[in-house]
Amino acid sequence: MTIPAINNKVAGISSNALGNVAACQSSSNLTDGGTDIWVYTLYPIVPIAAPIAQFVYSPRSGAVPLTVNFDALLNLGPNGQEVNYDWVFGDGGSASGRSVSHVFTSGGSFPVRLTVLDNINRVDAIVQTVEVEKANPQPPLQVSGKVSLSGFWSNPKITYRFSWAANPANIPAQIIGYAVYMREDNGAFRRILTLPPGELSTVLTFAGFTVKRSFAFSTLGLGDTESELVALR
């Protein structure tokens, strides 16, 4: 290819960001005002397609804890290597790689973002939504309690022994434990104890007999969910 011009030109080798290389030759010198330049391509100039962010995932929805598998479209950069695949799952989680999985432990609609980046910084992104059903814990069953007194004169104490049963309507993988609430006199219930899902009883001891205490119990689920309280007076 010949490029005529009136300005001086300098022979050499040039390349673009895609790796295409050209050799340049000119008969000009610094005093004749310039002449033609000849360009010889060493490789055919073939455009390299920009990366495309695209992915499929399964399952598309479900109840917590929901494990979702994600697979991105294969993309190769100008250097022939795979691009970078970066994932943001919308619940604070992230990952890298063409094929990844993620566990959603809270209910809601989560925008999952995939960003692909090749070796010359060309980028593309896409967002798709995963629908996750929140946990719906049901209250514990067969809640019961026993009271005993000790140390009437020197060191008075009152001891409560509580037990309950897991609700069979609950999905075990969604349950993270049980909460114990207490109310003194006519005050409000406040949580005083949190127990793991395998513990179905507890013992509480307090000093003095002058305060009226009421207790309530609940089941705790994934994603900060909680059943209604079961009060025991």
Q: Could you read off the pLDDT of 144-162 as tens digits, one per residue?
A: 999 999 887 788 899 999 9
Pick from 33-47, 51-65, 147-161: least confident = 33-47
User: Residue 50 falls within a domain, yes or no?
Assistant: no
Same domain, 174 and 222: yes
Same domain, 63 and 36: no
Query: Using an 8 Å Cβ cutoff, are 39 and 45 in contact?
Result: no
Q: Which amino acid is it at 146? A: K
Q: How far apart are CA 212 and CA 184, in angstroms?
A: 6
Q: Which amino acid is it at 168? A: P
Query: Using an 8 Å Cβ cutoff, are 136 and 191 in contact?
Result: no
Six token digits for residue 49: 């397609």
Domain housing 18: 2-41
Q: Is 153 helix (H, G, I), strand (E, B) or coil?
A: coil
Same domain, 27 and 65: no
User: Residue 127 falls within a domain, yes or no?
Assistant: yes
Same domain, 19 and 62: no
Same domain, 29 and 88: no
123-133/61-63 β-pairing: parallel
Length of the chain: 233
Same domain, 61 and 127: yes
User: Residue 64 falls within a domain, yes or no?
Assistant: yes
pTM of model > 0.85: no
Helix (H) or strand (E) holding 127: strand 123-133
Give 1's pLDDT tier (boundaries 50, 70, 90). Answer: very low
Residue where a domain terminates, one of 70, 103, 133: 133
User: Residue 46 falls within a domain, yes or no?
Assistant: no
* pLDDT of residue 104 exceeding 70: yes
**Beta-bridge partner residues of 204:** 160
Q: How far apart are CA 64 and CA 209, in angstroms?
A: 44
Q: Is 48 helix (H, G, I), strand (E, B) or coil?
A: coil
pLDDT by residue (tens digit) across 165-192?
A: 999 999 999 999 999 999 999 999 999 9
Query: Using an 8 Å Cβ cutoff, are 182 and 189 in contact?
Result: yes
Domains in the chain, number: 3
pLDDT at res. 103: 98
Same domain, 127 and 146: no
Give 36's pLDDT tier (boundaries 50, 70, 90). Answer: low
Q: How far apart are CA 74 and CA 72, in angstroms?
A: 6
Same domain, 154 and 222: yes
User: Residue 49 falls within a domain, yes or no?
Assistant: no
Most confidently modeled range among 5-9, 23-27, 45-49 = 45-49
Q: How far apart are CA 229 and CA 137, in angstroms?
A: 11
Q: What is the mean pLDDT of the chain?
A: 87
Closest CA to 137 of 232, 45, 224: 224
pLDDT at res. 6: 46
**Beta-bridge partner residues of 123:** 117
Residue with tokens 């030109």: 9
Query: Using an 8 Å Cβ cutoff, are 90 and 130 in contact?
Result: yes
